[in-house]
Structure 1
Amino acid sequence: MRLDARDVLHVGDDPVEDVIAARRAGLDTVWINRDHLEWTHEEEPPMAVADLRGLVLRLAAAR
């Protein structure tokens, strides 16, 4: 799609395979944390939401 990494928001539910991997690729990330787990990784925690509705609400509030 020829987008810059800074123009992409990666949304995923796996802390390692989604959030950390996408960050290492230079993408902004959102963690879908349905089970309200603690972030236990060395990297700074990402924006976290419980579901996609929560993501939509957060993004709308940021406009």
Structure 2
Amino acid sequence: MSIAKKIAHTAEAVKGGAKKTVGRVTGNRRLRAEGRGDQIKGNTKQAGAKIKDAFRH
């Protein structure tokens, strides 16, 4: 897995966390749910990449 993809997955998780926080602060349920989804998607991609890397070595 390339460094660029690892950074992109981490950025997606961080972006989702930020959206979730903004949604919580403003009381916007849609933004909060969207942020939670982005965060989960980024974390899932990171976990998948770690599993791939484990089987490569």
TM-score normalised according to structure 1 size: 0.21
Work out which of the two has the higher radius of gyration on C-alpha atoms and give 1 or 2.
2
Structure holding more helix per residue: 2
Structure holding more strand per residue: 1
TM-score normalised according to structure 2 size: 0.22
